[in-house]
Amino acid sequence: MNTIQHHAIYAQRRSRVAAALGKESIAIIPTAPEHARNRDTGYLYRHDSYFYYLTGFTEPGATLLIESSGASTLFCQPKDTEREIWDGYRLGPDAAPEFLGLQAAHANTELATQLPKLLENRATVWYPFAIHPGLETQVDGWLKQVRARVRYGALCPESQRDVCSILDEMRLIKDAHEIDIMRKAAAISAKAHIRAMQISARMLKDGQDLREYHLDAELLHEFRRNGSEYPAYGSIVAGGANACVLHYQAGDAKINNGDLVLIDAGCELHGYASDITRTFPANGKFTAPQREMYEIVLAAQEAAVAATKPGMRFIDPHEAAVKVLAQGMLDTGLLTHDKHGSLQDVIENRAYFPYYMHRTGHWLGMDVHDCGGYNELSELDKTTERKDPLSGELIKNRPSRILREGMVLTIEPGIYIRPAAGVPEKFHNIGIRIEDDAVVNAKGCELMSRGVPVDVISLEQLMV
Ligand code: GLY
Ligand code: MN
Ligand code: MN
């Protein structure tokens, strides 16, 4: 556990939360529950990101309380010799305050009796809304007990608020400690992508039966041997036509000589995600149509990277990428001027949508699709309405978030070409995405994931 040396970081974050709660208020932040997989076997445990952000503590069965006075209390698993023999070491409430830099700790078995007392005489109780099933009901139960004591002079909290509204804004801007871990996570994932590419080309050259799971195994191997705890999300390893399924997971499909392989995989390191996609020829050499499409996606990504800098808005890289992709679709005959009009028409009518149906990025952090709103908070009242050209729905637009130093986002344009009438056959079943992880800095952005290259020549050279 890396907690001890980072006491100060977590304590500072808790202080910022305490200061935002308002007078005489309290926040309740549980970690994630354990989940059964089947019968008596559990899924690999993963802590809750908000809880970890404030404690650095990875054991299950814990709840953090932060009071507006600044005091923090942890409820955690009690020491238990027998359970520790079976399940492993527990920090326990006696050692927790010093080890984690908290004011107090109790066994989690005391939560039910302590919470009503701790909620007494508070103005507001804060907790994460719609994250922990049953928490709202628990809070109701505790408040009911406080209300039963009102006739003895106790005050009952009058408002409940979502503590994520404070934490999301904090987590949106990564500090130096977080960026350092994210750089390391991205570097490990980059090495894993290279490893998978090289094994792919080698197995095909050797005439072996190459399956998606072979490459999935290489990714995992490289993640774990570099200290990553687990993949940040289910790795996508998609050969040939499977690349056109956006959330395809690595399966057992055969990868053929001449196929493209799309790998979208990133490790999680010490609670932080990386998220990289590369698309490469399984045998190490692009065909002409594959290369033609690849260069369009790459140019779109370059345009998006150029638009990722402080002062620009979250939507700007997407719009820059769409412009290049739409032009590429017109140039290659996926779309035609006769049918779809000018570049402007293609963009306004979203005619590119059958081939590019997702956004160009998302926030990245402890969660792969990290928290943080996509609208600029100070401009939430500036709404405009527009009619979506495809669905006809009326959409409320609010100004997109202004990019600031320390924000981390992915840049991931793609093109996915399913066979259809009018689509040039040489492009059928080509699915390409290129995804990198960018941290906004003073000048523009740093691509943390470029330990694995993106240009055609470098990719082919890697696989010789
Ligand atoms: N791997 C999920 C994504 O790229 O958003
Ligand atoms: Mn991805
Ligand atoms: Mn992504």
Please indicate, yes or no, whether residues 150 and 275 belong to a single structural domain of this protein.
no
Please indicate, yes or no, whether residues 277 and 237 belong to a single structural domain of this protein.
yes
Please indicate, yes or no, whether residues 105 and 180 belong to a single structural domain of this protein.
no
Burial class (CB in 10 A: 0-12, 13-18, 19+), 441: middle
Give the end-to-end CA distance of the chain in Å, rounded to a whole number. Answer: 41
What is the whole-number distance in angstroms between the Cα of residue 15 and the centre of ligand 3? 32
What is the whole-number distance in angstroms between the Cα of residue 407 and the centre of ligand 3? 15
- Closest to 129 (Cα-Cα) out of 153, 89, 159: 159
> Residue 3: its pLDDT value, please?
47
Please indicate, yes or no, whether residues 199 and 161 belong to a single structural domain of this protein.
no
Please indicate, yes or no, whether residues 369 and 274 belong to a single structural domain of this protein.
yes
**Residue 412 appears among annotated catalytic residues:** yes
259-303 pLDDT, tens digit per residue, is 999 999 999 999 999 999 999 999 999 999 999 999 999 999 999
Cα-only R_g, the chain: 25
Q: Range of 231's domain? A: 173-462
| Last residue in a domain, options 171, 193, 224 | 171
| Last residue in a domain, options 171, 204, 219 | 171
153-175 pLDDT, tens digit per residue, is 999 999 999 999 999 999 999 99
Q: Are 74 and 100 in contact (CB under 8 A)?
A: yes
| Nearby residues for ligand 2 (ion, Cβ within 5 Å) | 264, 275, 435
**Which domain CATH number covers 50?**
3.40.350.10
Query: Strand order in 124-127's β-sheet?
Result: 104-107, 72-76, 63-67, 26-30, 124-127, 159-162
Residue to probe by mutation, ligand 1, list 193, 249, 262, 264, most atoms within 8 Å of CB? 264
Please indicate, yes or no, whether residues 132 and 12 belong to a single structural domain of this protein.
yes
Has residue 53 got a pLDDT over 50? Answer: yes
340-369 pLDDT, tens digit per residue, is 999 999 999 999 999 999 999 999 999 999
Please indicate, yes or no, whether residues 154 and 186 belong to a single structural domain of this protein.
no
464's enclosing H/E stretch is none
Please indicate, yes or no, whether residues 139 and 199 belong to a single structural domain of this protein.
no
- Compute the C-alpha angle 317/318/324, nearest 5°: 90
Number of domains in the chain: 2
> Residue 2: its pLDDT value, please?
46
> Residue 7: its pLDDT value, please?
83
Chain-centroid distance, C-alpha 90: 29
pTM for the predicted model, two decimal places = 0.96
Residue to probe by mutation, ligand 1, list 246, 275, 437, most atoms within 8 Å of CB? 275
What is the whole-number distance in angstroms between the Cα of residue 368 and the centre of ligand 3? 7
Phi and psi at residue 376, to the nearest 5°: -75, 120
> Residue 5: its pLDDT value, please?
59
Residue ranges lining ligand 1, Cβ < 6 Å: 233, 264, 275, 362, 368, 412, 435
What is the whole-number distance in angstroms between the Cα of residue 190 and the centre of ligand 3? 14
Has residue 377 got a pLDDT over 70? Answer: yes
Nearest ligand (C-alpha, residue 410): 3
pLDDT more than 70, % of the chain: 99
Please indicate, yes or no, whether residues 140 and 239 belong to a single structural domain of this protein.
no
193-238 pLDDT, tens digit per residue, is 999 999 999 999 999 999 999 999 999 999 999 999 999 999 999 9
**Which domain CATH number covers 250?**
3.90.230.10
**Residue 169 appears among annotated catalytic residues:** no
Residue nearest atom 5 in ligand 1 by C-alpha distance: 369
Helix axes 7-20, 164-172, angle to 10 degrees: 130
Q: Where are the alpha helices (DSSP H) in 209-287?
A: 212-225
**Residue tagged active-site, from 35, 225, 337, 369:** 369
Q: Are 50 and 90 in contact (CB under 8 A)?
A: no
114-147 pLDDT, tens digit per residue, is 999 999 999 999 999 999 999 999 999 999 999 9
Please indicate, yes or no, whether residues 191 and 138 belong to a single structural domain of this protein.
no
Which residue carries 């999300």 as its tokens? Answer: 233
